Structures are given as structure tokens and as C-alpha cells.
Amino acid sequence: MRKYLPYLFLLLLIAAILRIDFYFTIVYLFFAVYLLSQIWTRRSVGQLQADRHFVGRAFSGHSVPARLTIRNEGWFPVPWLRVHESLPVELSSPPFLRQIVTLGPHEQRVLSYTLDCRRRGYYSIGPLRMEAGDLLGVTGSLQVEIEAEHLIVYPRVVSLQELGLPTRSPLVALAASTPLFEDPSRVMGVRDYRQGDSPRRIHWTATASTGQLVVKQYEPSIARETLICLDLSREDYEQRRRYTATELAIVAAASIAHHIIVNEGLSVGLATEAWDPVSETHARFYLPPRSERAHLMNLLEVLARVEVAEVTPFPDLLRRESVGLSWGATLTVIAGRESEPLFDSLVYLRRAGFAVALILVQPTYPSADIRRRADMLGMPVHRIWQEQELEAGI
């Protein structure tokens, strides 16, 4: 817009020297157009509002519809508005939404697009850039930017045929209507009084509230706890197969956690160390074993975000994360390759009183020596390289 100012002053100077009224009229007209364009463009751009609407979470393989609502809140019409929405290349092709629209006073436009969730991850949707100007191009264009929002795509969850995880707990509590041992400090609800119930189980507050005799229900005192230990160390995966292997390892972790909480009703946790795109740094993730559906969604959200990285050696991670677990807990170890340091850590965990199951994500079967030594310890070893092998059960 500044390029027109020298010409205006030149015309003004010529009009002043020649004292011709027509030149003064031309100068005044140009100045009026220039000022009107400045005011029009700034006021119209200042009144632009935009909202982005989409569901912030989805599973891999689903499609997420998104909607952009652009509103002109002022009385000045917008002659042209260039809209550019940046999109992740993994979710959209081409990786942008670009369109030119016009907006009258207090008018709005709705632009729609679809995000194809082809792979898990933590994605930025946006930013949205809007560029507007006047019809004559006198003032140039002004830009407005709307900040990006985020979409979490959960990993695929495979339906497992069976899950034969070991346990060393002598009183493992699977789903049962009457547990043998209960913890009176952990009340999970109430039920109607039945003949033979101890008077000490009566919940007097609930009885007074409902008008009928009810007793407390306690959680089992000992139940199988499972901690999924996921190996996301870069050095444990061969470079040309790294993406395939790590994605399958994450699918295995998500599927096992889903099976334990949804089908078995037991507790499961997660321990891993990886690159976190949210904090943009290496992060340690530890979710202690729990059995709620909300906990499962938190676990899947972590698995959606994590990426392979240069982190603590996985055998050291196993020893560190086992410190807070109760005796007899089950450790499901998902690793990228077999190694002597890994096996030594598994032996250590086994002798410390934990039940251990090893899942190797590699194209070749474990060596005969590893299988023989694992059999001697009663430690199951599984190998997966395709989702069909995971669906068959472990």
C-alpha cells in the first residue's frame, strides 16, 4: 500500500505548481479512495471470527468430520477472503484446505473437510490463516491467524481370542460373584442384606437413606495386577523395520490392556519411556495398574502419543519400574529383540516374585537357547510379526 503514496504526493505537487483544478480533483479522489480502502480493510478484517469444530479423539481407521465457521461480525462487507487451513499429511491429502470466499455484513460461511485417521498419533489441526483486502488492491492484504488445535488418534485395538498371562498370586481374583478374601478398607458399593451377613457389614448411613437394610461390598484383597512394559528404545529395533515393529508393539500393548480391563475386569498399567510430542522431550510414562474404563482411555492416549527414541536401555527400565509393584504381579514385557541383558532382567524379576511373560516383536523366532531357558523358569515367550498372529491369542 505504501507504493502509491509517492505518486499521490507527486500529483499533489504538480497540481500545486500548475494550479489546475482538474489535477486537484484527481488528487482528492485518489486520497479518498486510499483512505476509504484503509478504513474498510482494517475494519472488515478486525471483525472476522472463525471457529473450528471436530471431535478431538478418534480410533485408527475412523474418519473425523471437521467444520470451519467463518463469520463477519461487522457492517463492512469483505470483498474477498482467502482461507488456508494447514492439515497433517497423515490425515489429509492434500495437506491443506484452501478456498476464497466473500462475506456480506453479518454473514457467515461454513467450510467442511474430513480427516482420515489412517494411523495413530498426536496431530495439530491448523493454524488457520485468513487473508483479506480491498477490490482495487490499494491497501494490499491483511492476515488473521487462528491457532491450531489437536487431534489424538488412538492405536488399533485387536480383539484377542485368548490371553494366557501367567500369575504368581495364590489368590488371583478373576471375575467372581463371591470373592474369598475381601479388604474392608476398600468399599466398592452396597447390596441388600441377606440372611447370614455379619452385622459389622451393615452400612448404617445407606440403610437410613434408603429405608431398607443394606450391607457393604468390599473389593478383593488380592487380585492379579498386570503391568505392560513397552520397549520403545530406538536401538532395539532394526532401522528398516523400525516403523512396522514399533507400531505392532503399540497395537499389542493397546489390545492386551483392552482385553484385561474390558473382558477380564482386572487391573492393568503401562510403563514405557519414549519421545512425547506434547512436551517435545523424552518422557517416562508410568500408569499404575487400575481397572476403570477411564484408566483404559488414559492408557490408550499415552500409546497414541509415544514415539520411538534414544532412551534408557530397556532392561534397566524393567528393573526400575518393578519397584512399586506388589509381590506376585504380572509383567507383560513387549520388546523389539531378544538379548542377554534383557533375559537377565527377566530372570531377576522372576526371582523377585513377579510373573513374567515376554512378547518379542521380530520377524524371526526366538533362539532355541532363549526358549529352553525360559521354559526352565516357567516364563512364556511369544513372537508376533503380524496382527493376525496377535488376534490368534498369546
Q: What is the phi/psi pair of residue 188, to 5°?
A: -105, -5
82: helix, strand or coil: strand
Answer yes or no: is 269 within a domain. Answer: yes
Domain of residue 273, residue span = 225-391
> Cα separation of 394 and 101, whole Å?
56
| One domain for residues 202 and 334 | no
The pLDDT value recorded for residue 250 is 96
> Cα separation of 182 and 176, whole Å?
12
| One domain for residues 235 and 213 | no
| One domain for residues 370 and 229 | yes
For the chain, what is the domain count? 3
CATH assignment at residue 146: 2.60.40.10
The pLDDT value recorded for residue 168 is 53
Examine the fold and report which residue of 164, 193, 220 is the final residue of a domain before the chain moves on.
220
| One domain for residues 301 and 384 | yes
Helix axes 340-351, 314-321, angle to 10 degrees: 10
Answer yes or no: is 282 within a domain. Answer: yes
242: helix, strand or coil: helix
Residue with cell 536401538: 235
The pLDDT value recorded for residue 204 is 84
| One domain for residues 199 and 259 | no
| One domain for residues 256 and 364 | yes
> DSSP letter string over 252-288?
HHHHHHHIIIIII--EEEEEEEEEETTTTEEEEEEEE
The pLDDT value recorded for residue 72 is 92
| One domain for residues 209 and 304 | no
Answer yes or no: is 354 within a domain. Answer: yes
The pLDDT value recorded for residue 172 is 40
Answer yes or no: is 163 within a domain. Answer: no
Answer yes or no: is 237 within a domain. Answer: yes
Q: What is the phi/psi pair of residue 25, to 5°?
A: -60, -45
Answer yes or no: is 68 within a domain. Answer: yes
CATH assignment at residue 270: 3.40.50.410
Residue with cell 517416562: 284
| One domain for residues 231 and 366 | yes
Whether 381 contacts 372, CB under 8 Å: no
123: helix, strand or coil: strand
Residue 123 CA to its chain's centroid (Å): 8
* pLDDT, mean of each 10-residue run, the chain (394 residues): 64 73 73 75 84 94 94 88 93 91 92 95 94 71 86 93 59 39 62 77 84 76 80 93 94 94 91 93 93 95 95 91 83 93 92 91 88 86 86 69
| One domain for residues 214 and 233 | no
> Cα separation of 76 and 103, whole Å?
9
Answer yes or no: is 323 within a domain. Answer: yes
The pLDDT value recorded for residue 181 is 44
Answer yes or no: is 25 within a domain. Answer: no
Query: Which residues fall within 8 angstroms of residue 329, CB to CB, at 6 or more apart?
Result: 169, 224, 225, 226, 227, 289, 354, 355
3-state helix, strand, coil in the chain (%, to 5): 35, 35, 35
| One domain for residues 142 and 88 | yes
